[in-house]
Amino acid sequence: MLELLTAGGWAMLPILISSAIALAIILERFWTLRTKAVVPPGLGAEVREWARSHKLDPDHLAALRTNSPLGELLAAALSVRNRPREVIKERVEDTGRHVVHRLERFLGALGTIALISPLLGLLGTVFGLIRMFFAVMLSGVGDPMKMAGGIGEALVCTAAGLCVAIPAYVFHRYFRGRVQDLVVEMERQVFLLVDELTALGEAPASAPARPAARTAPATA
């Protein structure tokens, strides 16, 4: 294995660095995007029970906000529970943008690695071919070992770039789909909570209409 890495030339260094970064991101995202860490089972039902029993004091909301991404969304809805439904929806959407941004953390870097790794392999391939042509120019085609060195460098770099890019792309797509599934489940739990608050009378269905301005009586 070490001989293969050495045969790839200097272009193997950025490919190896990219592979290490991609592996670290994949392991970190697997740990962070666990279902019980993002959408803890039973949390939505527990919060709705809090609403029914009127246990929505500041201590409960503070603990809920730091519990999980789902808890942060539920706490955002509960913090404006006495406001109209449209206001609650806007607050949840504002908080949700920050939550989704954290869930998608490092996925852009993983996608970039999936994109540039074949290019790094191609760059190493080009340099390997250049090395082979220089060897041919200096010693002719009579020494096949010098030509083999350039061809070997080109093939090793190409293979290494693809070996990094393919898993990085697969996991990038997987984690994007994983985030979307978690977001859909969090939206469902928030809608259930808002419906519960509306049924309990905590959240008005809509903003009250403004009274019409009285017009002065016409004078003769």
Averaged confidence pLDDT in the chain? 83
Looking at residues 110-138, what average pLDDT do you find? 83
pLDDT (0 to 100) of residue 62: 87
Of 130, 161, 177, the residue nearest 29 (C-alpha) = 177
The total of other beta-carbon atoms located within 10 Å of residue 93's CB is: 13
Contact between 85 and 206 under an 8 Å Cβ cutoff? The reply is yes
Domain enclosing residue 108, as ranges? 2-200
114-123, 137-146, 186-195: segment of lowest average pLDDT: 137-146
Of the chain, the percentage scoring pLDDT greater than 90 comes to 44
Asked whether residue 207 is assigned to any structural domain, the reply reads no
Asked whether residue 216 is assigned to any structural domain, the reply reads no
Asked whether residue 139 is assigned to any structural domain, the reply reads yes
Number of domains composing the chain: 1
- Maximum mean pLDDT: which of 30-39, 152-161, 189-198: 30-39
Asked whether residue 212 is assigned to any structural domain, the reply reads no
Asked whether residue 36 is assigned to any structural domain, the reply reads yes
Asked whether residue 112 is assigned to any structural domain, the reply reads yes
Looking at residues 140-152, what average pLDDT do you find? 61
pLDDT (0 to 100) of residue 31: 95
pLDDT (0 to 100) of residue 205: 59
Of 212, 111, 214, 121, the residue nearest 168 (C-alpha) = 111
Asked whether residue 214 is assigned to any structural domain, the reply reads no
pLDDT grade for 129, boundaries at 50, 70 and 90: confident
Residue 3 predicted with pLDDT over 80: no
Cut 0.85: pTM above it: no
Looking at residues 143-160, what average pLDDT do you find? 70
Asked whether residue 111 is assigned to any structural domain, the reply reads yes
pLDDT grade for 216, boundaries at 50, 70 and 90: very low
* 199 vs 146, higher pLDDT: 199
